[in-house]
Every structure is written in C-alpha cells, then in structure tokens.
A and B are shown apart, each in its own frame.
Chain A
Amino acid sequence: MTDLSVDLGFLRLKNPVIAASGTFGYGLEFRPFLDLSRLGGFVVKGLYYDSRPGNPPPRLVETAGGLINAIGLQGIGVRSFAEEILPDLEGLDTAVMVNVCGADDDEYAAVVEYLNEFAGIAAYELNISCPNVQLEGRCPAMDPEATFRIVQQVKKISQRPLITKLTPNAADVAAVALSAQEAGSDAVSLVNTFLALAVDAETRKPRLANRFGGLSGPAIKPLALRLVFQTAARISIPVIGMGGIMSATDAVEFMIAGAAAVQVGTANFVDPQATVAIIDGLEEYGRRHGLQKISDLTGTLHS
C-alpha cells in the first residue's frame, strides 16, 4: 500500500489533500458529509481581526468550467473563531490551518498574535492574494517587496509555521515566491484565483456587483499547473499546489509538476465529499503505479 503521508519539513500531513480556504467554511459545515479526520488538513476561511461585512451580491457567476467569486472575505473575526469555532475542531486528527488576512501590514500581525495563544492550529496561511478586497483586484502578493515586508513581519511573531498564499495575477509569480522564502515563509500555496470579469450582454453591466472577481475551477487548472511548475523550480521551500483540482488525477498532476501537497477548493462546492474521493483516488493511483510513497511523485515531470 502506498504511504500517503507527506512531510513538509515543518509539518507532517497524513495525506497531501488539504481543503482550501474560502471553500470549506470553518470546517464544521462539512461535518454532515465527511469525517474531517480523513483529510491531510483544511484551511479555514480567511480571518481578519474583526468581522467583515463582505461585498454586495451578486457575488458569484458561473462561467465555462469555472466560477468567478467576489465574496469579499465576509466572515467572523479572530475572537469569535477562537471562542466559538476552535473548541469544536478540537481532537480532530488532521492539520487545522488558519488563513490570515489583513487590511494593512499590522493587521496580519495582530491576527497571528491573537491566535498564537490558542492551541489546535497547525499552521498559518498568509492570505496576501485575495483579489476581492482592494481596488481593481490589487493585493500584496502582486509585489515581491510588499510580500517580503508582510511575511517578515508576521514570521517574527508567529509561533507556528507560515504558508504564504500567492496570487497568479503577479507579473512574476516565482519572484514573489522567492521573496516569501527569503522573508522566512515555510511554504507557499498557489494559486489563488485569477482576476476576472463577466459581462451581461443584455444590460452591458458586469455580472458581479464588485465588477471583478476571482476565477477558480477546472478552467484554471492548466494555468495553475504551469505556475506551480515554474515556481517549484525556483524555490527550495515546499509548494502547495491548487487551481481547479476536481479529481485524484488532477492532484497527481500538480504533484508531478512540483507540489508537495495540494489544496482542493471549488470542488468542495460541487461535491462536499470531493476531498475524500480524491484521497481514495490517490491510494488507487499509488497502487496502480506501485508507488511506495505518494511523495515520490513530487517534481517528477519528464522533460
């Protein structure tokens, strides 16, 4: 049987399948559908220090093979999370990770400082890549210098491993990844959504109230694979790959391209049991290919 566990250096996961932030609520929403302890891990919805109202609707539009969202990181603040959600996640045999947001550099640090005091969190994922909260889809991860600054500041105070979540909307994504590595990030996760626009031909208006949104789903998989491949080649810290993973085969493709682990996002909406089906599928793939360890796949793309 193939050993599905993966060692990220700073964190050992029982399998490489992590449910992606923003698509998995606070984890509890999925309890009716699956045993959370089967997952390699999950990343809860992005947390600011205080609760966030989010963007006006419409927030979603479906496009060919994809979904554009502009939720605007609506959600509870750290205090509610720590008091109301975290106790319910206690005792799970999976890596619970928190996606950390900030309206400015200091807020990232404030969120991490607050959460440092609570047990039951395996790592922080630094969300410097949401396209739906700043004007014109801008985010810190578009810029290597802003990325360096935030990662370094958070790393100084973080008592947990730090994963930096990157945007595909940067001119040179690998350069941003390198910058995160130099600032002390323990891993990078990519890609967040592609900045996108959907137009209503009848009204000549944008289909989203926020005008722009982030495109996810199977439509972006080849774009994400290319970025994961190029980024993994440039940095030495682990890459957690994501972007349109719907099946175990998709997950395998990301690992071959250089990902040490993967995140599953939009698939959770289509099938709340998608993560578990992907884990089962990885086991089947490993058996079929006589793999000793699933991690042997990472970075094995033949030229």
Chain B
Amino acid sequence: MHKDPQARITRRQSWEAYHRIDLHSPRIAADAAPGQFLMIRVAEYFHPLLRRPFSIHAVSGPELSVFFQTVGAGTRLLSRAAVGQGLDILGPLGRGFNLDRDLRGRRIGLVGGGRGIAPLYFLAERLQQKRAEIRIYYGGRTLQDLVLKTDFQAAGFDPACSTDDGSHGYHGMVTDLLCADWKAFAPDLLYACGPHDMLHTVGKISREYGIPAELSLESIMGCGFGACWGCVHKIRREGEAAWTKICEHGPVFPAEAVVWEEGFEER
C-alpha cells in the first residue's frame, strides 16, 4: 500500500453520469490486483473532508484507471478534474477477488450492476490471462447505464447486457439474465460487484445452484486502511458473524460469509 500524492491524470472520458479517469502511478499500478481499490482525495482543502473509495477499473503498465458514477459532492468534484492534474491517492487497498489458484478452464460468470462494473474489466483481463472461460453480465437501469459495453467489446469481451426498462438487451434484472443464460453458459464460479440487493441475489443464486461466488461490497469509508472501523458489514468468519471492516478484510468476500440484514432476506 502506497501513498502517491501526485498521480497525474493522463486521460479522461465522461458520459452523462459516468466517468473514467486514467492515472499515472507506477508503484500502485504494479501492486494492484482486481477487486482492490484506491482512496482518492477529491479536494485540496477540507470540503469534502474525506477521501473517496474507488475500485481499480483497469491497469496498463504504469497507469491505472477508475470508473465511477456521480453520486454526490465528492464524485462531482472528481468528475471535473482535468488531464495533467495530480491527484493524491492511496492504494492498492483491501483484498480483491481470489485469483491465487488454478482457474484454467473454469467457467466464471462476472456480474456487474451499474457502476459496479468498474472492477470487472480489470478482473476479466486477469482471468483471461489465467485461461478461464468468462462471461460478463452487465446490467443497468437503462441503456445510459451501460456505457462501458463498447470498451469491453473493444477488449474482446462481449458482455451480455440487461436493462430494467428494456431499453437495451435483456429486459429485467441482471440476475434474471444470469439465470436465463444458465444452461447456455453453465458457470461454476461467480464474481460480482454492484448494488447490495443485486449482490444478495447473486449470493442466493450461487447457493441454489451450488457454486461458489465472491461479492465485492460497497461502503462509505473513513480511511480505507483499517483505522477508523467505519465501513463494517456483518461477515461470518471462523463460524462467528461479526461487524467486519470492508476496507481491510474485503471489499471482496465469499458469498456464504456475507450476512444480510433481515430486510434483504425478505426480498
């Protein structure tokens, strides 16, 4: 984990509510693994005060990218950052997807909802290097949420898309698309990132089909490196469920370890 006070913005691209920023930060790029994240300082002074967490979207040599949606004051400020500007970043942080095993020939479904697609690009590239068979399921509310589809296609992936309103691809939730496609692809492992109700459903599907899944959780974070204990989720570890720091022990957890609140179980 490093602090780079001057990660220079080399390239940026914006869609309406989504943005991609490429940063030159050789040390952090060299250490980064899919599913890990950065804490980015979005203001020089103290409004907003805290850094914001962003999944690492892609790594290419000394550069890495973040892909995010404007959701509040922090992301709005970051969305206005210009090429050439330096950003103060910490990273790579957290534990990513478990790739430390033989995945050759494994059939892996990557499920991304909205901005949750961010880490799946980096993940897809690394899984391809490991000769896994992958299929990307990319869902959004509407076509305007699927801005990365062409990037995936350009990289040789052809994501199966869904929209809640039917404006593009499968009409319905991305998890419904995953089930509809089950026979055709027959995954034996799932990796997912997206809204927590989507992750909850992915966990349920993995249980029903009896295959493992790993889920990348999202949270407000105070520090990103385990000091503030602000970003907890209930996680079962060694048989016991406890509030567990997402930044340090996650953000990626095995689906069976993630405990959802009662409200989620009823959905």
Query: Interface on A for B, CB 8 Å cutoff?
Result: 22-25, 29-30, 32-33, 45, 53-54, 56-62, 64-67, 69, 71, 74-75, 217-218, 246, 266, 268-273
- When chains A and B are docked, how far (Å) is the Cα of A61 from the Cα of B48? 12
**Does A32 contact B1, Cβ atoms closer than 8 Å?**
yes
**Does B220 contact A71, Cβ atoms closer than 8 Å?**
no
**Does B49 contact A67, Cβ atoms closer than 8 Å?**
yes
- Among the listed A25, A33, A270, which residue makes an inter-chain contact with B50, where contact means beta carbons less than 8 Å apart? A270
- When chains A and B are docked, how far (Å) is the Cα of A22 from the Cα of B49? 17
Output the nearest chain A residue to B88 by Cβ-Cβ distance: A271
Tell yes or no: B17 within 8 A of A by CB: no
**Does A269 contact B223, Cβ atoms closer than 8 Å?**
yes
Given A57-B243, A71-B229, A65-B223 contact (CB < 8 Å):
no
On chain B, the residues within 8 Å of A30 by CB distance are 227
**Does B229 contact A75, Cβ atoms closer than 8 Å?**
yes
Given A74-B232, A270-B41, A25-B227 contact (CB < 8 Å):
yes
Taking the closest CB of chain B, its distance from the CB of A41, in whole angstroms, is 16
| Interface hits, B212-235 → A, CB 8 Å | 219-223, 225-233
Given A54-B229, A74-B232, A67-B50 contact (CB < 8 Å):
yes
Query: Interface on B for A, CB 8 Å cutoff?
Result: 1-3, 41, 46-51, 88, 90, 219-223, 225-233, 242-243
On chain B, the residues within 8 Å of A266 by CB distance are 49
On chain A, the residues within 8 Å of B90 by CB distance are 272
**Does B227 contact A23, Cβ atoms closer than 8 Å?**
yes
- When chains A and B are docked, how far (Å) is the Cα of A239 from the Cα of B36? 42
10 tightest Cβ-Cβ pairs between the two chains A and B? A60-B230, A269-B223, A25-B227, A29-B227, A269-B222, A32-B1, A29-B226, A71-B229, A59-B230, A218-B46
- When chains A and B are docked, how far (Å) is the Cα of A217 from the Cα of B227? 16
On chain B, the residues within 8 Å of A246 by CB distance are 46
**Does A269 contact B50, Cβ atoms closer than 8 Å?**
yes
- When chains A and B are docked, how far (Å) is the Cα of A54 from the Cα of B230? 10
**Does B230 contact A65, Cβ atoms closer than 8 Å?**
no
A-B pair number, CB within 8 angstroms: 89
**Does A64 contact B47, Cβ atoms closer than 8 Å?**
yes
Taking the closest CB of chain A, its distance from the CB of B32, in whole angstroms, is 15
- When chains A and B are docked, how far (Å) is the Cα of A32 from the Cα of B243? 24
On chain B, the residues within 8 Å of A58 by CB distance are 220
Output the nearest chain A residue to B74 by Cβ-Cβ distance: A62
On chain A, the residues within 8 Å of B221 by CB distance are 60
Name 19 extra pairs, CB < 8 A, besides A23-B228, A270-B41, A270-B50. A24-B227, A33-B1, A53-B243, A54-B229, A56-B243, A57-B219, A57-B243, A60-B228, A60-B231, A62-B50, A69-B228, A74-B243, A218-B46, A218-B49, A269-B50, A269-B227, A271-B41, A272-B3, A272-B227
**Does B226 contact A54, Cβ atoms closer than 8 Å?**
no
On chain B, the residues within 8 Å of A59 by CB distance are 229-232
Taking the closest CB of chain A, its distance from the CB of B247, in whole angstroms, is 10
On chain B, the residues within 8 Å of A24 by CB distance are 227
**Does B46 contact A67, Cβ atoms closer than 8 Å?**
no
Given A61-B220, A269-B228, A270-B51, A53-B242 contact (CB < 8 Å):
yes
Output the nearest chain B residue to A34 by Cβ-Cβ distance: B3
Output the nearest chain B residue to A244 by Cβ-Cβ distance: B46
- When chains A and B are docked, how far (Å) is the Cα of A61 from the Cα of B221? 9
**Does A66 contact B49, Cβ atoms closer than 8 Å?**
yes
Taking the closest CB of chain B, its distance from the CB of A36, in whole angstroms, is 13
**Does B227 contact A67, Cβ atoms closer than 8 Å?**
no
**Does B47 contact A67, Cβ atoms closer than 8 Å?**
no
On chain A, the residues within 8 Å of B48 by CB distance are 62
On chain B, the residues within 8 Å of A272 by CB distance are 3, 90, 223, 225, 227
On chain B, the residues within 8 Å of A29 by CB distance are 225-227
- When chains A and B are docked, how far (Å) is the Cα of A190 from the Cα of B93? 32
- When chains A and B are docked, how far (Å) is the Cα of A224 from the Cα of B220? 26
Taking the closest CB of chain B, its distance from the CB of A141, in whole angstroms, is 22
On chain A, the residues within 8 Å of B233 by CB distance are 57
On chain A, the residues within 8 Å of B228 by CB distance are 22-23, 60, 69, 71, 269
Output the nearest chain B residue to A26 by Cβ-Cβ distance: B227
